[in-house]
């Protein structure tokens, strides 16, 4: 990749103002796959200046012009899909199959969804004699994580482009390669100079400079709750809008009438997917106390088939976690589960047998977990499942809601009406019924410490828009 030591500012690849660099490590091999430049406040200033200048013209483009632009982006993205998949596997360790069928295509999906939403989105409405207008908010600061890198990049970039905003992006410095590819895609598609700008760097330097910058009108951040809190604090200096998509500790309620063989297996595999590095993963499985031993036996059988290993191997189910720091954090939390008395039925501390190199974690399951234990309270962000018992439906709802998070939830029942009823009482931004998949046309986001605002589909447009009332726009009726 030719632009790793450059930033994309004002339609050009430019040299950084400083000289700091960072190695990008392949977490499966622990080898350096690229070295990126790290930006500073001066780089952010240049990117913001370019975005502010471009906003004057881009904010005035027509719906049709932006539709045409998104269409070109989609066509170029299709051509580069293979490159994107390879980069994601290299930078964060996703198995090649997962990168090819989910990680890379998620980006294309968000651009296509934004294009369709733009065709029908109502930017204006009349209320009496007043015209209410939704206008692009301005320059947007975008900070994205490493776990689903292209997904998180595009669910911010696509609505910003669709609504007429300009932007400065700081991708995760741990997994920046797919973001550099996205910059190449947008450049080839003819995104006007200054509309999209990319500065690599770390959170305390580039992220903080963006959040506090008076030239940035809104911040959209995806990452940990702690880092999101810092973005809010920095952004408060200039009273800018902040949209946050943060952590989760999602409960997966299996009601007593489900097919346990099927839904326990589904829950285990959903938790292990992407090495457990998904904010909406069903990491707390809630089952009737009377069925705990049965559930444990099923889960133990299923997890035995979850092979961790080389992302390019055909039989690999999960790859490594993203970094040495993440590996260490997960190990300490697994040990906490053991120390606090949860029953370990699979996995545990250390690396899987035969994997001495790479940040691989054993697929781990605890049963007889109580909701007060550390592994039930903290977001582990690794392939670790906690199985918690409940007495009855009311107890299950109570346990599910007993968390600081509120991103997602899962409810399964043979009686769909019963599942619907329970879902309405779960205090989360999303609930999956009977294993239903995500829908990228529907809003994605959470309650409580899981964030502020919603992404995806036409709901994802709202945080990029300001609302203006023009009074007396229409003559009074005689």
pLDDT in the model for residue 2: 80
Q: Which two tokens stand for residue 335?
A: 């040990």
For residue 375, is it left (φ>0), alpha (ψ between -120 and 50) or beta? alpha
Note whether 198 and 169 are within 8 A (CB): yes
Whose structure tokens read 């036409």? Answer: 458
Note whether 306 and 363 are within 8 A (CB): yes
Q: What is the mean pLDDT of the chain?
A: 98
If pLDDT is split at 50, 70 and 90, which confidence band does 163 have?
A: very high
For the residues 126-142, what does the mean pLDDT come to?
98
The segment(s) of the chain belonging to CATH 3.40.605.10 are 7-246
The pLDDT of residue 381 is above 80: yes
pLDDT in the model for residue 268: 98
Domain 251-433 matching CATH 3.40.309.10: the answer reads yes
DSSP assignment of 261-287: HHHHHHHHHHHHGGGG--TT---EEEE
The pLDDT of residue 187 is above 70: yes
pLDDT in the model for residue 478: 67
For the residues 241-246, what does the mean pLDDT come to?
98
Percent of the chain with pLDDT over 90: 99
Active site (annotated) includes residue 245: yes
Fold of 7-246: Aldehyde Dehydrogenase; Chain A, domain 1 (3.40.605)
If pLDDT is split at 50, 70 and 90, which confidence band does 23 have?
A: very high
Could you say which of 173, 245, 455, 462 is catalytic? 245
For the residues 111-135, what does the mean pLDDT come to?
98
The pLDDT of residue 1 is above 70: no
Query: 62 to each of 45, 194, 416, 419, 462, how far by Cα in Å?
Result: 28, 18, 44, 44, 18
The segment(s) of the chain belonging to CATH 3.40.309.10 are 251-433
Percent of the chain with pLDDT over 70: 100
């Amino acid at each position: 990749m030719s632009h790793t030591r450059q930033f994309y500012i004002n339609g050009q690849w430019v040299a950084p103002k400083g000289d700091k660099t960072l190695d990008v490590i392949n977490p499966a091999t622990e080898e350096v796959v690229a070295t990126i430049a790290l930006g500073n406040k001066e780089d952010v200033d240049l990117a913001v200046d370019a975005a502010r200048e471009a906003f004057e013209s881009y904010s005035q483009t027509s719906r049709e012009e932006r539709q045409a632009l998104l269409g070109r982006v989609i066509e170029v993205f299709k051509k580069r899909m293979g490159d994107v998949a390879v980069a994601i596997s290299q930078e964060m360790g996703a198995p090649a199959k997962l990168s090819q069928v989910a990680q890379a295509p998620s980006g294309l999906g968000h651009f296509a969804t934004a294009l369709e939403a733009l065709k029908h989105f109502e930017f204006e409405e009349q209320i009496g004699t007043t015209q209410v207008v939704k206008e692009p908010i301005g320059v947007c600061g975008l900070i994205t994580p490493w776990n689903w890198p292209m997904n998180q990049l595009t669910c911010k970039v696509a609505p910003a482009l669709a609504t007429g905003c300009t932007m400065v992006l700081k991708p995760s410095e741990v997994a920046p390669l797919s973001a550099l590819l996205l910059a190449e895609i947008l450049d080839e598609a003819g995104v006007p100079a200054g509309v999209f700008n990319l500065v690599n760097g770390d959170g305390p330097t580039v992220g903080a400079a963006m959040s506090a910058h008076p030239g940035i009108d809104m911040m959209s951040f995806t990452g940990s709750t702690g880092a999101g809190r810092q973005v809010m604090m920095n952004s408060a200096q200039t009273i800018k809008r902040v949209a946050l998509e943060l952590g989760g500790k999602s409960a997966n309620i299996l009601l007593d009438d489900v097919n346990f063989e099927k839904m326990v297996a589904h829950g285990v595999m959903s938790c292990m997917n992407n090495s457990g590095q998904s904010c909406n993963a069903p990491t707390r499985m809630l089952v009737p106390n009377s069925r705990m031993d049965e559930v444990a036996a099923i889960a133990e059988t299923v997890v035995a088939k979850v092979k961790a290993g080389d992302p390019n191997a055909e039989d690999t189910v999960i790859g490594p976690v993203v970094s040495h720091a993440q590996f260490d954090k997960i190990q300490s939390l697994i040990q906490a589960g053991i120390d606090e008395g949860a029953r370990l039925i699979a996995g545990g501390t250390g690396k899987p047998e035969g994997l001495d190199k790479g940040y691989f974690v054993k697929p781990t399951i605890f049963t007889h977990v109580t909701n007060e234990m550390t592994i039930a309270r903290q977001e582990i962000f690794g392939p670790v499942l906690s199985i918690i018992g409940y007495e009855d439906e009311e107890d299950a709802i109570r346990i599910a809601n007993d968390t600081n998070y509120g991103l997602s939830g899962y409810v399964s029942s043979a009686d769909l009406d019963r599942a619907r009823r329970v879902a309405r009482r779960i205090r989360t931004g999303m609930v999956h019924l009977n294993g239903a998949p995500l829908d990228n046309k529907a809003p994605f986001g959470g309650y409580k410490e899981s964030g502020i605002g919603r992404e995806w589909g036409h709901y994802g447009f709202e945080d990029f828009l300001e609302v203006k009332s023009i009074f007396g726009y229409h003559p009074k009726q005689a």
